[in-house]
Structure 1
Amino acid sequence: MAAAPILRGRQQERERLDQALRRVKEGESAVLVLRGEAGAGKTTLLHYLEQQATGCRIARITGVESELDLPFAALHQLCAPVLASAGALPAPQRQALDVAFGNITGAAPGKLVLGLAVLSLLAETAAERPLVCLVDDAQWLDMATRQVLGFVARRLLAESVLLVFAVREPNQDTLLAGLPALTVDGLGEADARALLAATTPGRLDARIADRIVAETRGNPLALLELSRSGRAELLGGFALPAVGTGALQDRFEQRIRAMPDSTRMLLLLAAADPTGDAALFWRAAEGLGFGPQQAAPAQEAQLVEIGRSVRFRHPLVRSAAYAAGGGEDRRAVHRALADALDSGGDRQRRVWHLAAAAAGPDDRLAAELADVAEGVASRGGIAAAAALLRRSSELTTDPGLKIERTLAAAQAGLNAGDFESALGLLARAEALPVDDLQSARIYLIRGLTDRAAHSGREAPAALLRAAQRLEPLDGRLARHTLLDAWSAALVAGRLAAAGGDLAAVSAAAHTTPPAPGTPTAADHLLDGLAALITIGTEAGRPLLREAVTGFLDDTVPPDLWLRCGVLVANAALSLWDYDRWEASNARHTDLARASGALVPLINALNVRRVIALWRGDVAHAKELGLEESAVKEATGTRRASYGDFFLLAYQGHAAQALPLLTEAAAEATARGEGLGLYFTERATALLHLGLGHYAEATAAAERAATGDLGPFTAQALPDLVEAAVRSGATAIAETALARLGTYTAGSDLEWATGLEARARALVSGGDEADRSYAEAVDHLSRTRLRFELARTRLVYGEWLRRERRRVDARHQLKHAFEEFTEMGADGFAERARHELLATGEKVRKRTADTVDELTPQEEHIARMAKDGRTNAEIGAELYISARTVEWHLRKVFGKLGISSRKELRDAPVHSPSRTR
């Protein structure tokens, strides 16, 4: 196929590709996403890049629409030619690749471990010579492959790898969002006219040419196709057909239908096999009674190339070839492909083709599909499992089993994030003769789907109704659903729709008895959370203590931990038990990491960052933020992090923080997430407190303390007391103190006692204030809550200064200033510095040091290297390649003025306060 004419007018695109290729040949990495409509020339640009990549190794794959539900299918094609380099990878990464590609059986590999394995594999391959990876029709890659390649693309830096995606627009996929992109538009008018003239013999009427260029918008493939098959129309001035993506496929389809039946059948066979495996194609063709002679017309017409692999001229040709086949012909080619596949070596694909070949119900095949779906799900292919279960249900004759498989497919679709498919399957299940329990389960899955797909306002009420329907049918499932409803109501907060607020859900849970038998940790958790809202903290505390103990005693299965982990941490928080707050969150985080459950891991890391900040460990919170960002990239999640909000508040940079917090609050309101709104308001209050803007802090803290969010409301009240006292709103402060007492009553833990004593001191005077401040310092000194202790010393020092006890004030303020400075809480540190100056103490502003010159990533890498970690070990923890670690270390050495790891041991890259 002649590529030169289509490259008319592509100077900018070629320069961009050449530039990326030069970078890779010089030892760096590059990523580029080519975006454009079908036929714009993206594939041709990939061909151009392949021709230019002399001296490089080429790996090329093309996404295929029919493989969207086959996990890791495209990833395996990309990695297969370079798997020889896998021997150099660490054992966990090699195992992740083997499990994902079906070479061995085992637990589903975590997406992060698998992403790191692919990144390391590409880096190892590129160590020999630069590697160019070309991914055409990326919009049709299976979800698992898109997640992994999106992860890899964001971590390539110093590996001599060029990764180029071609993706059809419009495309709503967010997994490639934010990557360097180049839009491939149609040709300009002059180039489009020149291409049309060069490929159309005879004299072309200028008016007709104008219409063609306008209607095609310079789309090269449309221009070529018109010149190839519409010459009589073009030269004679007859009516022109509409031209566009749909029209192009129709034109290809007409050409294919005009070919001999045997050729058309072979094109259908090639379209039905998305792997492009030429050996498989010829085996299946032989089974149909065809050979190379029947394929020749299609190759001569330049619709398909059959060499070492089968490659269509354009994805639209593949679509047209499949569309041109009738139902019986499609079943025949899928049956031939299944017969040509080794039943042992590629069972999944063989069963997939058999399902496509089935003309009607087939219980044996339905059972095999369900069995394969279970294996696919264990390898992380939730979307594929949903598709297999959906087809299994379609082939099942037994009504009860059909309903169960349909519900299983809907649940898998929900887990895979395919909400539209899940809702469609639920509608299909409702049309079947369901019993009461199945009907209630349909209602539950629909509620969970709506919660995941839409805003938080309606979800709590829907899940509550599902629990009420389940109660007489399955008590255990009903109570687990009430936990889901409680969690949804907590997230919705004051934005919940009528009948779904935390009080309503808690009241329903309070009157729902446990299932028969010994109450479980989950039962204690539900009853304790319900009592917390309906009766009060003192009533809920014993039950919540039992719940947290039960979850931490290894008596709860992992799936329930993943489901309830955030609620367990919230239970510990409501107890003011910092140690078990941290321990329960650590267990949740570890289980999520080990199981590869990325959505629970995002939630767990979010909580973990807040815990680290309250411990005063800003450096660790930043490190966790790097991991949280990596997980979000792997899942395509774009949700803001509560840890980010508090980091903004700690750092005290209002010009940067306030617009971000305002935007986050608006987004939370739009989604109906009252908890997200609470966190933005709480962070805003802390920001203003650090800056001494007490009226603004009072307003934000009042909003955060509105309603009752259990432990979260309790945490906001000390901020409100401090802000209100400082702004002169004494009545507001006294009311907040009284409310705080209802949450701390009966607690003998240092955290609760210390915060209540500090709040009491703020609204008091004289000896009572002095005693209460000293009591607060004493209690909080026995905890690991450095931030709260430093805040207490600050307000105590401020009070002592106003009492003209300057020496005592300096003692408290110095401690506060040093703590805030080491924590990186710059706003509060500056407030403490001003107070020290007012006592007559001389204190300088904190100056930037070498550590501040390092980026968070560089600082983290430097500290791990100081601890003796190898590049591979550092890369495994940060989800980057060892070559990128080495690149970062070279930059660290340059900034620190050193030249080796040996010198790094004595370099000042952290202080004791920044260790974990």
Structure 2
Amino acid sequence: MRSDNGIPVLRGRRREQEALDDLLRDVRSGRSRVLVLRGEAGAGKSALLDHLTGHARAGRVVRAAGVEPETEIAYSALQHLCAPLLDHLDRLPEPQRAALATAFGLSSGTPPEALLVGLAVLGLLAEAAADQPLVCVVDDVQWLDRMSEVILTFVARRLDAESVALVCAARSPGDEEILTGLPELRVDGLPVADARALLDSVLPGPVDDRVRDRIVAETRGNPLALLELPHGLTSAELAFGFGTPSTTPVVSRVEEGFRRRVAALRDDARLLLLAAAVEPVGDVTLLWRALDRLGVGPEAAEAAEAAGLVEFGARVRFRHPLVRSASHGSAEAADLRAVHRALAAVTDPEQDPDRRAWHRAHAALGPDEDVAAELERSADRALARGGRAAAAAFLERAAELTPDPKTRAVRALAAARARFDSGSPAAASELLAAAELGPLDPLGRAGVERLRAQIAFALDRGRDAGPPLLAAARRLEDLDLAAARETYLSAVGAAVHAGRLGGDVRAAAEAARGVPAAEDATGALLTGLTAWSLDGPVAAAPLLRRALEAVASDEDLRLLWLAAPVALEVWDATAWHRLTERAVAVARRTGALSLLPPALAFRAGALVYAGRFTEASDLVDEADALGQTTGLPPHPFASLVLAAHRGRDLPAEALLDAAARDAEALGEGWQLGIAGYARTVLANGLGHYPAAVRAARLAIGHEDLAVADPTLGELVEAATRTGETGLADWARDRLAERTAAAGTDWALGAQAVADALAGPPGKAERRYREAVDLLDTDLLGLPLARARLLYGEWLRRENRRADAREQLRAAHEAFAGMGAEGFAERAGRELAATGETVRKRTVEATEDFTPQETQIARLAAAGRTNPEIGAALFLSPRTVEWHLGKVFGKLGITSRRELAAALRER
């Protein structure tokens, strides 16, 4: 039923309608809102979307829907949503404009990364909403193509102050992994009274009350089931059908009802419905041209409309998506091929070559090289637009249709690579098995081995990942030296990851040493890590420093996962900061979705040691959120080290315990070592020195990259506090070999601290002063504060209270400002012991900015424009402007000119 203005009147949906009305009010007031409607098929999600769009007065509405036949066409749903808004494309910054135009096939260019496309879509929605609120509605998101899903999830998490509503409808159960982490509204069955009233409106005649109650109970108030299940049945049939409880799911029974109604149509009407189901965009003109080829006339449409299954207007609209699936699922294979053949014939090969190729592929009865080659060209176009999942689908079907076994194997291997790059390693494994059936040449077989090993490493970075990578590297030696070096580096890295839980780093390094060296970043890093594995950290130090120089001049971020720990291994704070800062900047600029989470995690680690905990925490949170989107979790180093230095014992212990359990389960010994180091830091900060000794002993039980050296420093501190002087001396001397080889100020400062703690008492003060001088840099705010704390504790024990207060006060203020609560309390206790009253101060007491406001304020103070800040933080410029307004209000200023001074004063 519809009201006078055509808006549907819904029964039993007051709660849902009020939620949607609230959403519209917020959007009209200048805020953005996101909402996902979740419910089973037929629950009324589409009707609620119609209610929303009908009430979106004084605003613009754009709609799109996932379509099952389009799930493999990259950006298809997103392009439908954005098409009406492309008149705002010229307002976007050039990189975003080019990325979106390339993704949508409007122009050629470098394949865009997903994050850059997401930022462009975010900007496009913001620009479209600049003059009037914008309501974006996406139905059937369970059938979105992968890239549209990724981009919409990205945009939804960043909408804030643009006057944009994004409301999506998703089917459940089965869709729980789609658009996760967003505000949701469950759409359940109607209340009993409303369900009965709706059922009464369609019953063919009087029905026993008990039968009516059974129908309502078994449908659980599902509106579509209540409307459709009784359709075409007599009272007797209804009584019989519902006389005993049914175990068939409601959705299946509704779809079966639609199948019966489709089957009851005459042949031409069924063929029309099938053609409409296969043609995904509802193009009436194209559909009629195809139907003309099939010999289907207008009278078939009249029959289908009279049956209440479809409507023909400006576009074709099914009664419900289940009608589409019912028609498609009940079709004969010959009819389905005929429909695809007709649609391929009427699809313009210049304007829409990919859909034409897809229709031709489904029309093919057997192998067809012409169609396979056309699909391969479609895959190339998809890759050029950044659609790796779509390219994989085209290549997979191309391989199936390829008559020549050798060419078929090559295409299957290419499809596997595309599946892997698109984030579907399991599907890639199946395609690899198909590729192996063909007569691949030696390079192709080596490629299969290499990809299989990479898949194994992506799925499991533990003990089982290294051997297949090593085998693939050996096979590649005589075929492709560059690929062999890259694969050997992955094999060594996998062994480093496995560590004490089964990683044979020495075996991998011995095999890699036989490969001719190279001066590029991959070759230099392989040489350095090979030396580290076989010759020890001291001998490897100069080679690792040379490798960092090579990586610093290389734009390829794929080496970051090893290069960042190497910078830590050789105590090079400058390289660590430069490398991670550039990695985040490049990943943000290019939108490298799979590379940004690890870049953020390693950058956060660098910021922890700089004492910038708030910024580090923001990056850890962002990395975790992106990891959920990509399915590739960030490296745990930053989150563990941050928790340890914050010193909140119970949350940190829980996080460390979980990390250790995960490491044991996955066979990742490196993570176990990092957790042990972090546990040592936590215990030292809290003054639990025996626990710190125990944790350090476990952590240094294996030579983990970037773990052993800092843990030795922690062990020196803990052992001196527990009176284990022999252990402290051993740790100090072992550390000295490594810090001397590194030779950086950070290394020498750490060694000075160790010498002051465990060296000759007469040299302690001189070594403490040297440590403070060497570590006095913005990059090492945390080690500097710890050196001051230890120096102050030593001065207090020497009964030099005035001097102790100077060092302890500086340490306490630094720790409190960072948020290092454990160390701050330890410094406070020492300071109180000198007779000074300690003022309680934590970072929370002085900060009333949100983390996002903090980031925006810092960037604005540095002179960045709103579009530049938005690009850096993946926000729209309007959201940046809105947050800056809140920052100005909190600071009591009115312009950017006052911002830097106001921040310094705070």
TM over 0.5, shorter chain: yes
Give the corresponding residue for 1:548: 548
- Correspondence for 1:652 among 631, 638, 647: 647
Distance 1:84 1:850 in 2: 47
1:143 deviates by 1.2
1:490–1:502 CA contact under 8 A, matched in 2: yes
Return 486-495 or 31-40, whichever deviates more. 486-495
Residues 636 and 276 of structure 1: is their aligned pair in 2 closer, same or farther, counting only changes over 3 Å? Answer: farther
1:169 deviates by 1.3
Distance 2:200 2:857 in 1: 61
1:877-888, aligned counterparts within 5 Å?
A: 877-888=872-883
Q: Deviations over 1:497-535 (max 9, x none)?
A: xxx34344334334x3337xx665423322321221222
1:687 deviates by 2.9
Indicate yes or no: 2:313 matched with 1:310.
Answer: no
Identical aligned residues as a percent: 49
Give the corresponding residue for 1:217: 220
**One-letter amino acid of the counterpart of residue 884, structure 1:** T
1:625-664, aligned counterparts within 5 Å?
A: 625=620, 628=623, 631-632=626-627, 635=630, 639=634, 641-664=636-659
Give the corresponding residue for 1:598: 593
1:111–1:148 CA contact under 8 A, matched in 2: yes
**One-letter amino acid of the counterpart of residue 537, structure 1:** P
- State the secondary structure of the residue aligned to 2:576: helix
Distance 1:524 1:870 in 2: 39
1:495-510, aligned counterparts within 5 Å?
A: 495-496=501-502, 500-510=503-513
**One-letter amino acid of the counterpart of residue 831, structure 1:** R
1:276 deviates by 2.0
- Correspondence for 2:345 among 332, 336, 339: 339
- Correspondence for 1:85 among 80, 83, 88: 88
Distance 1:767 1:49 in 2: 78
1:472 deviates by 5.1
Aligned residues: 900
Give the corresponding residue for 2:827: 832
1:740-779, aligned counterparts within 5 Å?
A: 740-779=735-774
Give the corresponding residue for 1:254: 260
1:139–1:173 CA contact under 8 A, matched in 2: no
Give the corresponding residue for 1:116: 119
Indicate yes or no: 2:139 matched with 1:136.
Answer: yes
**One-letter amino acid of the counterpart of residue 310, structure 1:** V
Q: Deviations over 1:305-346 (max 9, x none)?
A: 221112211111111111232223222222222232222222
Q: Deviations over 1:791-830 (max 9, x none)?
A: 1222122112212233443343344334334444343233
Q: Deviations over 1:193-212 (max 9, x none)?
A: 33323210212123333433
- State the secondary structure of the residue aligned to 2:395: helix
Give the corresponding residue for 2:732: 737
| TM-score normalised according to structure 1 size | 0.92
Distance 1:334 1:910 in 2: 69
- State the secondary structure of the residue aligned to 1:121: helix
Residues 447 and 896 of structure 1: is their aligned pair in 2 closer, same or farther, counting only changes over 3 Å? Answer: same
Indicate yes or no: 2:619 matched with 1:617.
Answer: no
2:611–2:782 CA contact under 8 A, matched in 1: yes
1:108–1:596 CA contact under 8 A, matched in 2: no
- Correspondence for 2:374 among 364, 368, 371: 368
Give the corresponding residue for 1:76: 79
Distance 2:811 2:632 in 1: 38
Residues 390 and 654 of structure 1: is their aligned pair in 2 closer, same or farther, counting only changes over 3 Å? Answer: same
1:645-794, aligned counterparts within 5 Å?
A: 645-781=640-776, 784-794=779-789
1:131–1:160 CA contact under 8 A, matched in 2: yes
Distance 1:200 1:760 in 2: 90
2:61–2:136 CA contact under 8 A, matched in 1: yes
**One-letter amino acid of the counterpart of residue 187, structure 2:** V
1:149 deviates by 0.9
2:8–2:50 CA contact under 8 A, matched in 1: no
1:693 deviates by 2.6
2:141–2:178 CA contact under 8 A, matched in 1: no
1:197–1:204 CA contact under 8 A, matched in 2: no
1:150 deviates by 0.8
Residues 849 and 674 of structure 1: is their aligned pair in 2 closer, same or farther, counting only changes over 3 Å? Answer: closer
**One-letter amino acid of the counterpart of residue 514, structure 1:** P
1:298 deviates by 1.2
Give the corresponding residue for 1:9: 12
| TM-score normalised according to structure 2 size | 0.93
1:385-534, aligned counterparts within 5 Å?
A: 385-454=391-460, 456-471=462-477, 473-496=479-502, 500-510=503-513, 512-514=514-516, 520-534=520-534
Give the corresponding residue for 1:154: 157
Residues 596 and 678 of structure 1: is their aligned pair in 2 closer, same or farther, counting only changes over 3 Å? Answer: same
Give the corresponding residue for 1:39: 42
2:623–2:634 CA contact under 8 A, matched in 1: no
Give the corresponding residue for 1:914: none
Distance 1:735 1:208 in 2: 84
**One-letter amino acid of the counterpart of residue 478, structure 1:** A
1:390–1:405 CA contact under 8 A, matched in 2: yes
Distance 2:229 2:175 in 1: 30
Distance 1:210 1:672 in 2: 56
**One-letter amino acid of the counterpart of residue 812, structure 2:** F
Residues 786 and 908 of structure 1: is their aligned pair in 2 closer, same or farther, counting only changes over 3 Å? Answer: closer
Distance 2:181 2:113 in 1: 23
Structure 2: segments with no counterpart, 5+ residues: none
Indicate yes or no: 2:323 matched with 1:297.
Answer: no
Distance 1:2 1:237 in 2: 33
Residues 79 and 532 of structure 1: is their aligned pair in 2 closer, same or farther, counting only changes over 3 Å? Answer: same
Residues 195 and 553 of structure 1: is their aligned pair in 2 closer, same or farther, counting only changes over 3 Å? Answer: closer
Give the corresponding residue for 1:244: 250
**One-letter amino acid of the counterpart of residue 515, structure 2:** P
Residues 527 and 875 of structure 1: is their aligned pair in 2 closer, same or farther, counting only changes over 3 Å? Answer: closer
Q: Deviations over 1:209-251 (max 9, x none)?
A: 3433333333222222221133354455367674532333233
Residues 340 and 213 of structure 1: is their aligned pair in 2 closer, same or farther, counting only changes over 3 Å? Answer: same
- State the secondary structure of the residue aligned to 2:742: coil
Residues 436 and 910 of structure 1: is their aligned pair in 2 closer, same or farther, counting only changes over 3 Å? Answer: farther
2:601–2:635 CA contact under 8 A, matched in 1: no
**One-letter amino acid of the counterpart of residue 487, structure 1:** G
- State the secondary structure of the residue aligned to 1:259: coil
Distance 1:305 1:455 in 2: 53
2:61–2:135 CA contact under 8 A, matched in 1: yes
1:627–1:878 CA contact under 8 A, matched in 2: no
**One-letter amino acid of the counterpart of residue 266, structure 1:** L
1:787-866, aligned counterparts within 5 Å?
A: 787-846=782-841, 852-866=847-861
Distance 1:278 1:665 in 2: 59
1:8–1:191 CA contact under 8 A, matched in 2: yes
1:846 deviates by 2.5
1:136–1:165 CA contact under 8 A, matched in 2: yes
- State the secondary structure of the residue aligned to 1:61: strand
- State the secondary structure of the residue aligned to 1:908: helix
**One-letter amino acid of the counterpart of residue 502, structure 1:** V
**One-letter amino acid of the counterpart of residue 779, structure 1:** L
1:502–1:709 CA contact under 8 A, matched in 2: no
**One-letter amino acid of the counterpart of residue 889, structure 1:** L
- State the secondary structure of the residue aligned to 1:432: coil
1:166 deviates by 0.9
TM-align CA RMSD: 2.9
- State the secondary structure of the residue aligned to 2:185: strand
Distance 1:108 1:173 in 2: 30
Give the corresponding residue for 1:145: 148
**One-letter amino acid of the counterpart of residue 159, structure 2:** L
